[in-house]
Amino acid sequence: MAPMSMALLVLCDYLAILLPKIAHPLWFAALTLHITMMVLFFSFQISNFKFTNIFPSWFLYPVGVISSTLAGSTLGHTVFSQNMAMVCIAIYFVMLPMVLYRLVFAGKLPRPARPTLAIMAAPVNLSLAAYLVNFPNPDPILAGALSGIAITMTLLIYLCYFKLMRLKFQPSIAAVTFPSVISAIAMQRLTTWFAEQHTQWVWLHWFGFFEITIATVLVVWVSANYLKMYWPELSFKLNKPK
């Protein structure tokens, strides 16, 4: 549910300019859904807590709610968006050591959950994009820290893709799409800021182009495999010799 509500909140960022009358109720509904599911998720996890149950997907609810700030300022909720962005960034820095400790010292992830490693790139890139959107004069130290972690995490998950792509396709592999797309969006925001304030770093737009290419390929690949999984007869018709 978290990716769905986050996707709707990101969509509102574009609708807020094109169709604000639709964007506002959709934004409120998606935010309400996200917070409700977050309360239910952590209520269950706390009552059945095991350290080995901590996965990268735990970032999705507490940090993922920062998606609401992308459209929040445009819709007139500037103070809410700025405060929410800072709270979510703080939560990310608190959770990151805990999740990394679990991944390194608490055993391997179960095979079906391994594609969720791709999620490691999503929260920091989302935080970076939201920070640059909501603060016209971002602090260079915080922006630099988020940028460094975002680029590092993105490169690490690209390395993970080599192994993930060799696994038999399963629905959880869709976890690679959102992090790849939000990484490209964050890099676009970052290079725009660099072009205005720090021109010596503007060359990073080439890395942004590379990220957009990877994201596009992954979305097409996952979509094609979903079609093949749920409509195998479609694949048969396409491959049937004439």
Q: For residue range 129-180, list pLDDT tens digits in order.
A: 899 989 888 888 998 899 899 989 888 888 877 777 777 777 777 777 888 8
From the list 101, 107, 204, the residue with the least C-alpha distance to 150 is 204
Domain boundaries, the chain: 2-239
Burial 101-134 (b: 16+ CB within 10 A, else e): ebbeeeeebeeeebbbbbbbbbbbbbbbbbbbbb
Residue 237, pLDDT above cutoff 60 = no
Report d(CA 141, CA 198) in Å as an integer. 13
Biggest CA–CA distance in the chain, Å, is 62
Residue 49, pLDDT above cutoff 90 = no
**pLDDT at residue 188, as a whole number:** 85
Averaged pLDDT, 18-37: 91
From residue 67, how far is each of 84, 153, 224, 239 by CA, in Å?
A: 10, 19, 27, 41
Residue 94, pLDDT above cutoff 90 = yes
The size of the chain, in residues, is: 242
**pLDDT at residue 89, as a whole number:** 93
**pLDDT at residue 211, as a whole number:** 87
Report d(CA 172, CA 31) in Å as an integer. 24
Stronger pLDDT, 152 or 236, i.e. the higher one: 152
pLDDT band at 1 (very low <50, low <70, confident <90, very high): low
**pLDDT at residue 192, as a whole number:** 83
- CATH architecture of the domain covering 2-239: Alpha/alpha barrel (1.50)
**pLDDT at residue 218, as a whole number:** 86
Report d(CA 101, CA 54) in Å as an integer. 10
Averaged pLDDT, 14-30: 89
Stronger pLDDT, 110 or 63, i.e. the higher one: 63
Mean pLDDT computed over every residue of the chain: 84
